[in-house]
Amino acid sequence: MAYLQTDVTKVTTNVLKNMKLHGEKIAMLTAYDYSMATLLDSTKIDVILVGDSAANVMEGYQTTLPITLDEMILYASSVVRAVKRALVVVDMPFGTYQGNSKLALSSAIRIMKETGADAIKLEGGQEVLESITRILSAGIPVMGHLGLTPQSINKFGTYVVRATEADEAERLIRDAHILDEAGCFSLVLEKIPAKLAQQVTSEISIPTIGIGAGSGVDGQVLVLQDMLGITQQFKPRYLRTYGTFGEDIVNAVKNYISDVKSVNFPNEKEQY
């Protein structure tokens, strides 16, 4: 299949809108550092998300709540230095946009100025509309995020599938329209029934990007360490792994240790 965007030298929000119009799926993965982002960008991936999942993957926290704006800026600027082509989106961390649209705008401006990223992402619908509108008014592209919103984990107490009941599904559909009409350029749908995700995707004009939301969305996103098989003991139903890099790293390090201990490394050619 000829992909629409292979000739694109820089993926923009408009490229994503065109991909939805032409039915070409959007591929998005997370990255938090220069080395991984360099590899990802070489593959012509469409979007790189500097997710606040860095709190779990990079920092070992149980939730995404503790990560700070300064930490997100450090990860994001490392990624941006590596990326020439993909659209780079940065998560606004918990506490930097909820309930205060002026704070939201200043947090978003810090991200854009100090990292050079292309867009920000934040979680929620109606309840964060004022923040979204203010950020958009400064010309900063916003990606929405509905369904399982990990920053609200303490409200729900569990990471189970969201919007399985009619009232929650109706609220999600309403919120998706609100984000579309407000001017968000795309919307992440996390861990909701596939049928609902498909309905939202057909009703709104902006591209939807799913994680645990079935195939009827406009694109998919996974956390890089999860899909590479690096994350241990995290096997949700929606996750497909594309490698056993966790095992591979452990084996490589064991071989290195063995070579060092047995003075098999370095050999004649590996010294001066």
The footprint of ligand KIV (CB under 6 A) covers 30, 49, 51-53, 91, 188, 190, 211, 221, 223
Provide, rounded to whole angstroms, the least separation between the CB of residue 4 and ligand KIV.
Answer: 23
Classify the C-alpha dihedral 83-89-91-92 as positive or negative.
positive
Q: In the numeric block, which tokens belong to residue 239?
A: 């996750």
Which is closer to ligand KIV, CB of 46 or CB of 190?
A: 190
Residue 95's contacts (CB-CB under 8 Å, 6 or more residues apart) are 65
Which is closer to ligand KIV, CB of 190 or CB of 218?
A: 190
Which is closer to ligand KIV, CB of 104 or CB of 211?
A: 211
Dist CA 266 CA 63 (whole Å): 42
How crowded is residue 260: how many other Cβ atoms within 10 Å of its Cβ? 11
Dist CA 225 CA 228 (whole Å): 5
| DSSP E strand stretches across 100-180 | 119-121, 142-147
Which is closer to ligand KIV, CB of 30 or CB of 101?
A: 30
Residues in the chain: 272
How crowded is residue 146: how many other Cβ atoms within 10 Å of its Cβ? 26
Provide, rounded to whole angstroms, the least separation between the CB of residue 41 and ligand KIV.
Answer: 17
Mapped onto helix, strand or coil, the DSSP state of residue 37 is helix
Provide, rounded to whole angstroms, the least separation between the CB of residue 53 and ligand KIV.
Answer: 3
User: In the 8-state DSSP scheme, what is residue 235?
Assistant: -
Query: Which phi and psi (to 5°) does residue 5 adopt?
Result: -95, 15
Provide, rounded to whole angstroms, the least separation between the CB of residue 24 and ligand KIV.
Answer: 20
Which is closer to ligand KIV, CB of 192 or CB of 211?
A: 211
Active-site residue (options: 114, 123, 165, 190): 190
Whether residue 268 lies in the annotated active site? no
Provide, rounded to whole angstroms, the least separation between the CB of residue 209 and ligand KIV.
Answer: 8
The angle formed by the CA atoms of residues 235, 51 and 144, to the nearest 5 degrees, is: 105
Annotated catalytic residues are: 190
